[in-house]
Structure 1
Amino acid sequence: LIMAQDYNLQDVVRCKCENLNPELYCTLCQINLCKTCAVEHLLDESKLHMVIPIKQLRSTSHYPTCPTHSTKQCELHCAICDIPICTQCVSSEEHSEHKAEDIMTTFQTKKETLQSDIQELDKSIIHKYQEMAKGTKIQKDRLNEKSQKLLKLISKLAEDWHREIDTITQKETTKVEVVRTNCMHALDKQEFEISVRISKIWGHIADLKKLLESRDVYKICSYKSNIAELRRLPTKVILNIPTFSSQKINTEQLHELFGALSEYSIEKDNQTGDELVASND
């Protein structure tokens, strides 16, 4: 059913020829007409046009044209198919066994349903959706705020870990430098002592060769060997250089020590329209 449109006297109404404020309306074709266009419109005998003053539209309802039988108007409503039908449709094979009701009765029932739906949508359902949208916005803001806090916490923990690792690294590095310095000092001392003895030996060899070439019987006969001291090598420095032992990085254990986020969930409350109504009641 197509209900004649309500017109406010202040609305700008136009004829099909774009003339302002037409005075007539064809209820069959549902178009506005000025007097000139109305005459031409009524000359079209292919349809039974009904032209009325446009002021009567506020209180006038008209029957829609049957889509199957263009010369008929739908005065009935098929309860099974839920569509307007004309009297000729009732006897057709498609609707012969269907229940036909007076279309104006259906019209009033549908209007009441429309009014009820409009009231429920406007007074109840739309507000529930608005509250849901508001709640979603609050959750998004809260998500961003908590995410930033979590990121700062993780970043701070990472800095603490890096600082501790740097401290440990510095301590072990210092130990290595101390070991190297002490060991190098011992080796330097040994190297110096060996160098002194080698120099002393070369000098002693020169003295002995000079004596050997001498013809001084007294000096040669008075010679006493004193290389026993030189046979005894200086104490040899044996270094026990330390090694560095470390554990293989256990990623899982490291992760446990560092910490981890708890599980999160995204829950949905799939409320249907009926549930919305029930919750409103």
Structure 2
Amino acid sequence: MQMYCDFCQVNLCISCTGKHISDDYDKHKVVPVQQRKSTLIYPKCIAHQTKSCKYYCEECDISVCSLCSIISDTHKGHTISTLSDVYNAKKEVIENDTEALENIISPTYEEVATDIETQIANLDEEYEKLTTTVTEHGEDCHRVISNIVDKMKVEIEELKIKHKNILKEHLDEIKQIQYRIEQTLLNLYRIEDSKEVFLTMEYIPQTEEFSRLPPKVQVSLPRFSLKTIDTDQFCTLFGYLTPLYNTTEENGYKLKKPVTLSRNFLEEPNLITTINTGYDNLRCVTCFEEEEIWTIASDVSDLKCFSIQGSLIKSIKIKSVESPYDIAVTNVGDLVYSDWGTSTIYKVTNEQIEEVIRFQDWTPLQLCVTSSGDLLVTLYSDDQTQSKVARYSGSIEKQTIQFDDEGKPLYSGNTIMKYITENRNLDICVADCGAEAVVVVNQTGKLRFRYTGHSSTAKCAPFEPYGITTDSQSHILTSDCNNHCIHILDQNGVFLCYIDNCDLKNPYGIYVDKRDNLFVAEYYSGDVKKIKYVK
């Protein structure tokens, strides 16, 4: 085979080339086989069938053809980039992820698996030594302690089985992750070999997820403590086995070398578009499928949905005369909102409103939908002295988070808003404005850290976080309303940078969509701003 069609992705001999391109010459891209993959395959424009989409609208986040980018009112005034530049940037992300997974992350998991397998292989020998020690001591005690020896042998065997099961379970987890990495690599190889823009554009980086190594399970070997034999008290003095216990050590495994993340912050975040909601005191913004932007505000009893172009799609009147406190979108596109006037969480399906949870002695504040479909809600007690976070599956409470390991309250006890979100690592992040802190706990409710702001001479007002959200790289973003900026932290609470341009004024509720576009609700102006802050 001497020739290759980049469009059809097939090899051709010289004699077949003419026949291959005869039906539609302009469509095919026949090149010498050594030059294959040299031609990008652009998607066809839906509106202009004869045109290929070689451009990209930043505001609408879609591919467009040259006619759409010039004459279409839909994209008028929008930032248009060449699709090849966006494609090349995405390819770079894929290459970085492939390199990290193949040369750093995957080998690290291989070492972890080998270490656990070695521990399992050595268990019989170690436990045999323990059994021998017990047996020899039992023989010294003769018949009097034979029953105790037999009992202890059984106990040792049970401990060995339990020990082995713990390690095997951990090994299974490691191998499952290894399998996922292998599948991801296969997918990356397939994308790298393909020129389908759709496959490349749909790729979501997974290096950060795999870079978060699992806790290291360490299981201690039981020890046999000898006791001097006393005929009258041989049962108690014979000896005992230390209990089998295992611990999990966060960050017990280390990557062979640091992984360079695929996505970096822009030096200057870009304001993509501004949507005026017509609200005063705009409080919340959330999205569904990057097309529907839902908002709520203080002192109004309706929920507004806007398109990315800024047109009002629909408005839903809620049952209560009070304004809703917060709103979220479920994984299937239903709305849920908290009504502090009735102490109730409602769900909206096809514009029909139904009650989901009604609280007694507590009032719901903010809420979010987790990756598993659960609902996290911040609440304050009716006597306004306590606050907590509760997790619900439907109307069933599954978890309550209120105190730290010392029994001290995790959150301020006042009624000031406490926006909440779940991070990609399943941490639960609360912007506790009343405490002037971002409070982050892990999925079991154990306190991980508090972030109380970053020292800056340019930020004069006290740090009072309102909205909070996370992105695909597990960064935590929180709005600093009085300082007119957004703080960006890493998943461990380390300050990374501010977003303080884009003419931000009193940012309140914030939301990051699946493509890491940031939506900011400005409280007084009623504007929702879409901001691009990562490459």
TM category, shorter: 0.3 to 0.5
* Structure showing the higher helix proportion among its residues: 1
Question: Which one has the largest radius of gyration?
Answer: 1
* Structure showing the higher strand proportion among its residues: 2
